[in-house]
């Protein structure tokens, strides 16, 4: 059984690879700029945060996992970038809450789904990077008071969103009760779509991406709250009061232990199974291992421990009957199995046992809080003050999003180039949740070859403009486009015998590469019983992330076929 130490560093199952060198990381962090709400989603924003900071974040996680030099975190400290990261984090949050709801219908029509996904992912990236940076006590000591207040308020908003009852919580309900997934089934005759619901629309896709990103970000914020509570004595008194009284982190974290959003029960093929969130992936857990503590659960317990057992918190936290009752609810979880995994909770167990014997007043606040002037969250107020959300949404769509859809978006090629690199491939391969597949962006050249016994016919394939579509399958999202075939020799081929058919795709970008799929195919002979004028051939598969469907049309009066419709589907992730 796994044992979690009290001060264990955030661990990710990353191999030791070098994504960003020390000098490059310093340059990226030094040049990092604060982005306002109006800049969220722009090319400048995605290049700084979606490309450069994402690479630094991956490197920081890889360094932490391999216990190597953490030069990314050191650069954040050296160049005092906590305020820049925090202000940008709040700007992305404000954009997600106030601007995106007014934009999403237009974005769906313009098919900007991927750009929105990467924009939303920046918030999760910043929270994850702050988690690594604030793991050390000296990092918390470097936080300015204004920045600390902003992060405390941000964590409070995230944790309160997780704690909303399931019936009214769209974010958690989507995870605990996942919708049936529509999928596309390919056959050798045609494409059919099997689903319990209509094909996923771009608008529905954006809404689902929003809920998924919010859940990942909210979960990551619980770790951030843990570090703020662990080093609470490093902050000014006003920040401490905000944690203990204004937001009451202790009472906020208890519902997450009682009704954990990272545990779910489902019926699969008639069998009831349990799943827990492990490294952002829902993982099936045998009933015998349900008491094994995950990282999400451990972070919540550490937060409770630091808020109840540290001298600073005990001095300031005012116990009353309600708070006592809530704390006593935790006692049933502190069994031998839990204490074996988290030995530090022995002190918490003793504290709760002693608390059960104490008489506390019905109403009480923190000691001296009546005379304390609280510091306000001026950073967020400064970001959202006097912003006309409707005007901002219209300006952003006209200046940023309306120029092109995802397929021809050059900034998405830069981002996909990151995930297409060999080094990052080692990392995202462990996570199984890379945001984009290099195959999803526009190909530079596509060649179809049909080799018969006596000849070989070659065709250049060109995309038919305006025919691209997004389809959800059992293997993820696919981009489907219609193609037209142009013969190399200028003459339409007549195909009549068995052939070896192959497709060669060439991609450009930061990481150019080729992809080839092929298959043997026999053209059917015309008979009295079978007068069909068309036959279909499929190259590749959903698992390969590339599917080419070719409709061969029988030529009138002869035993030969020519190429009719072609459809290429490439996986987005």
pLDDT score for 8 = 42
- pLDDT above 90 (res 15): no
- Cα gap 213→96, rounded to integer Å: 10
Confidence of residue 442 (pLDDT cuts 50, 70, 90): low
- Cα gap 57→428, rounded to integer Å: 13
- Cα gap 427→424, rounded to integer Å: 5
Higher-confidence residue: 290 or 516? 290
Domain parsing of the chain, residue ranges: 13-236+379-433, 438-571
Contact 437, 544 (CB under 8 A): no
Confidence of residue 430 (pLDDT cuts 50, 70, 90): very low
| Tens-place pLDDT, residues 38-96 | 999 999 999 999 999 999 999 999 888 888 889 999 999 999 999 999 999 999 999 99
Please state the three-class secondary structure of 170-223 as a single string: HHHHHHHCCCCCCEEEECCCCEEEECCCCCCCHHHHHHHHHHHHHHHHHHHHHH
Q: Hey, which residues does 476 pair with through a beta bridge?
A: 473
Q: Residues 6 or more apart from 445 whose CB is under 8 A from it?
A: 460, 504, 505, 506
| Tens-place pLDDT, residues 309-340 | 999 999 999 999 999 999 999 999 999 999 99
Confidence of residue 299 (pLDDT cuts 50, 70, 90): very high
Q: Residues 6 or more apart from 192 whose CB is under 8 A from it?
A: 184, 185
- Per DSSP, 523 falls in state P
Confidence of residue 422 (pLDDT cuts 50, 70, 90): low
| Tens-place pLDDT, residues 155-212 | 999 999 999 999 999 999 999 988 644 333 333 333 443 333 444 678 888 999 999 9
- pLDDT above 60 (res 543): yes
pLDDT score for 557 = 66
Q: Which stretch of DSSP H or E encloses residue 570?
A: strand 561-571
- pLDDT above 80 (res 224): yes
Residue with tokens 């799929």: 517
pLDDT score for 434 = 42
Residue 563's alpha-carbon distances to 460, 523, 560, in angstroms, are: 12, 12, 10
pLDDT score for 364 = 63
Contact 457, 429 (CB under 8 A): no
Lowest mean pLDDT among 333-342, 415-424, 442-451, 532-541: 415-424
Q: Residues 6 or more apart from 305 whose CB is under 8 A from it?
A: 6, 344, 345, 347, 348
Residue with tokens 């090629």: 413
- pLDDT above 50 (res 515): yes
DSSP reduced 3-state for 495: strand
Provide the whole-model pTM: 0.75
Angle at 504 between CA 500 and CA 506, to 5 degrees: 175
pLDDT score for 432 = 42
Nearest 5°: phi and psi at 261? -70, -10
Contact 407, 440 (CB under 8 A): no
Strands 281-285 and 183-186: unpaired
DSSP reduced 3-state for 492: coil
| Tens-place pLDDT, residues 114-168 | 899 999 999 999 999 999 999 999 989 899 999 999 999 999 999 999 999 999 9
Contacts 24+ apart (CB under 8 A), 266-274: 266/178
pLDDT score for 437 = 54
Using CB atoms within 10 A of its CB, is residue 358 exposed (0-12), middle (13-18) or buried (19+)? exposed
């Amino acid at each position: 059984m796994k044992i979690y130490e009290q001060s264990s560093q955030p661990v990710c199952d990353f191999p030791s690879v070098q994504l960003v060198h020390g000098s490059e990381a310093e340059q990226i962090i030094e040049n990092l700029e604060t982005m306002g709400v109006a800049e969220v989603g722009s090319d400048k924003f995605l290049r700084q945060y979606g490309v450069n900071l994402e690479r630094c974040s991956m490197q920081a996680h890889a360094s932490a996992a391999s216990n190597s030099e953490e030069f990314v975190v050191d650069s954040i400290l050296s160049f005092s970038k906590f305020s820049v990261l925090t202000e940008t984090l709040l700007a992305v949050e404000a954009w997600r809450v106030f601007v995106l709801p007014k934009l999403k219908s237009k974005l769906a029509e313009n098919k900007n789904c991927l750009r929105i996904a990467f924009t939303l992912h920046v918030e999760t990236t910043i929270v994850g990077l702050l988690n690594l940076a604030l793991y050390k006590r000296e990092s918390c000591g470097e936080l300015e008071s204004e920045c600390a207040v902003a992060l405390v308020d941000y964590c409070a908003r995230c944790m309160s969103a997780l704690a909303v009852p399931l019936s009214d919580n769209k974010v958690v309900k989507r995870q605990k009760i996942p919708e049936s997934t529509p999928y596309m089934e390919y056959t050798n005759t045609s494409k059919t779509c099997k689903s319990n619901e209509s094909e996923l629309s771009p608008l529905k896709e954006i809404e689902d991406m929003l809920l998924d990103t919010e859940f990942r970000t909210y979960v990551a914020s619980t770790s951030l709250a843990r570090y703020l509570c662990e080093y609470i004595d490093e902050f000014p008194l006003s920040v401490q009061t905000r944690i203990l009284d204004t937001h009451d982190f202790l009472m906020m974290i208890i519902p997450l232990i009682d009704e954990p959003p990272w545990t779910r029960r489902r019926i699969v093929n008639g069998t009831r199974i349990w799943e827990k969130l492990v490294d952002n992936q829902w993982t099936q857990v045998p009933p015998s291992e349900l008491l094994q503590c995950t990282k999400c659960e451990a972070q919540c317990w550490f937060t409770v421990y630091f808020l109840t057992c540290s001298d600073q918190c005990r001095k300031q936290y005012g116990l009353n009957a309600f708070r006592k009752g809530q704390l006593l609810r935790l006692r049933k979880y502190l069994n031998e199995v839990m204490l074996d995994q988290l030995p530090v909770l022995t002190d918490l167990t003793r504290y709760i046992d002693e608390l059960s014997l104490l008489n506390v007043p019905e109403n009480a606040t923190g000691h001296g809080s009546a005379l304390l002037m609280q510091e306000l969250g001026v950073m967020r107020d400064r970001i959202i003050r006097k912003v006309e959300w409707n005007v901002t949404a219209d300006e952003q769509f006209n200046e940023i999003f309306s120029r092109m859809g995802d397929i021809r978006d050059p900034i998405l090629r830069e981002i996909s180039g990151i995930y297409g690199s060999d080094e990052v491939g080692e990392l995202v391969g462990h996570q199984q949740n890379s945001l984009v597949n290099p195959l999803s962006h526009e190909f530079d050249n596509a060649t179809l070859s049909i080799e018969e016994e006596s000849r070989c016919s070659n065709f250049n394939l060109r995309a038919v403009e305006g025919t691209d579509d997004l389809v959800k399958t059992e293997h993820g999202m696919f981009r489907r486009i219609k193609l037209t075939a142009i013969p190399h020799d200028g003459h339409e081929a007549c195909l009549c015998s068995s052939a070896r058919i192959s497709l060669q795709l060439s991609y450009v970008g930061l990481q150019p590469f080729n992809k080839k799929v092929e298959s043997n195919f026999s053209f059917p002979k015309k008979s009295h019983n079978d007068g069909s004028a068309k036959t279909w051939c499929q190259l590749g598969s959903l698992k390969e992330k590339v599917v080419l469907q070719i409709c061969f049309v029988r030529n009138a009066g002869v035993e030969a076929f020519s190429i009719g419709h072609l459809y290429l589907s490439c996986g987005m992730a």
